[in-house]
Amino acid sequence: MFKAYKYRLYPNNKQQILLNKHLGSVRFVYNWALEEKMKKYKLEEKNISCFDLKKQLVNLKNNEETKWLKEINSQSLQEAIVHLDKAFTRFFREKRGFPKFKRKHRKQSFSCPQNVKIDFNNLIVKLPKIGEIKTIFSRKFKGKVKTCIISKTSTNKYFISILVDTPEEFKVKVKIKKEKAIGIDLGIKDFLITSNGDKIDNPKYFRKNLYKLRKLQRKISKKKKGSNNRKKANFKVARMHEKIKNQRTDFLQKLSTKLIRENQTICLEDLNVSGMMKNHKLALSIQDCSWSEFVKMLEYKAEWYGSNIVKIGRFAPSSKMCNKCGWINKELKLSDRQFECKECNSVEDRDINAAINVKEMAFIKQNLISPMGNRVELLELLGS
């Protein structure tokens, strides 16, 4: 099983200079390769392969103007070209958007695919061409290190993400049983509502810090562009965004782990989050919830613990249908917090009604969507 572990690095002044050189050089090579591909297609309508760019990289390193690239780990420079090639593949196959030039004042990173050594006893990570860097290991791992990514945040913090081939194996998934399943409806007022009637409050970390952010951003507008005071003001805004992100990630990680450990099967709705973000009245609230990130956490943790994730189609009327008699209220508005059925005269909380419907619909095979793309395996677990 492959697992990723992230630790914070504490480089000294000399190592910070070397790390910054690597970050800048990798960004330069990525932008250079992107420009070369664009020129080639514009002039000759031909594509430059990843291997041809790597050959040209050797000549670039021997050039007088760019000979400083020899100070950088060659594998890290080559990985920048590989990442660009993958970006173009995603653009043509998945329509993800044309690759853009990398900027300096953003989160930066570079890869080290080999020759990275981890020493838990001495709290050290050894990187090629950089040396031994002090590292705080929050947890240890067993297995073979495959690749590493070193990143620098906008608040000048350095991290290393290590992909490890661990000896652990995926647990065998259990049969999906209705009595051991739980339906989940994701919301804005309450972050999560279960078919059991439980509600998890939405912490709204961004909303709570919005006044402070606006105040800090107004201070930026009053500073002179390029001045040190403007840089300091930008740093304060970046630190506030980092705090919000850490709070949200901590909340999502703990909640997703709790749900996976307590339930064998979790039923969800396949939400079109990107489409919902086009509603400008709700976009900020939806973005603050990070539903997509939460679902990703549930999916990979379900693989670890042997649980099941079952999704229903996004067009299923989970919110507008009565969970008792099946009557559909086509005139239901977002402001209606109670679901009142005109057929059986039942009155129930709108979100709990939706969560119950999600669970019930998950066991109708024509509604199923396999999150990992293996619908046949999902139907076998259902006993269909």
Query: Using CA atoms, how far apart are residues 164 and 158, in angstroms rounded to an integer?
Result: 19
Catalytic residue among 269, 288, 299, 360: 269
Q: Which residues contact 349 (CB under 8 A, 6 or more apart)?
A: 193, 337, 338, 339
β-pair type (308-312, 265-269)? parallel
Q: Is 349 a catalytic residue?
A: no
Q: Is 185 a catalytic residue?
A: yes
Single out the residue of 347, 319, 321 nearest to residue 335, CA to CA: 319
Catalytic residue among 79, 85, 299, 351: 351
Q: Is 198 a catalytic residue?
A: no
CB atoms within 10 A of CB 144: 9
User: What is the H or E stretch that residue 289 is in?
Assistant: helix 283-289
Q: Which residues contact 123 (CB under 8 A, 6 or more apart)?
A: 134, 135, 136, 137
Single out the residue of 24, 27, 84, 20 nearest to residue 54, CA to CA: 84
Catalytic residue among 185, 288, 299, 360: 185
CB atoms within 10 A of CB 381: 15
Single out the residue of 317, 348, 354 nearest to residue 193, CA to CA: 354
Question: What amino acid positions are annotated as catalytic residues?
Answer: 185, 269, 351
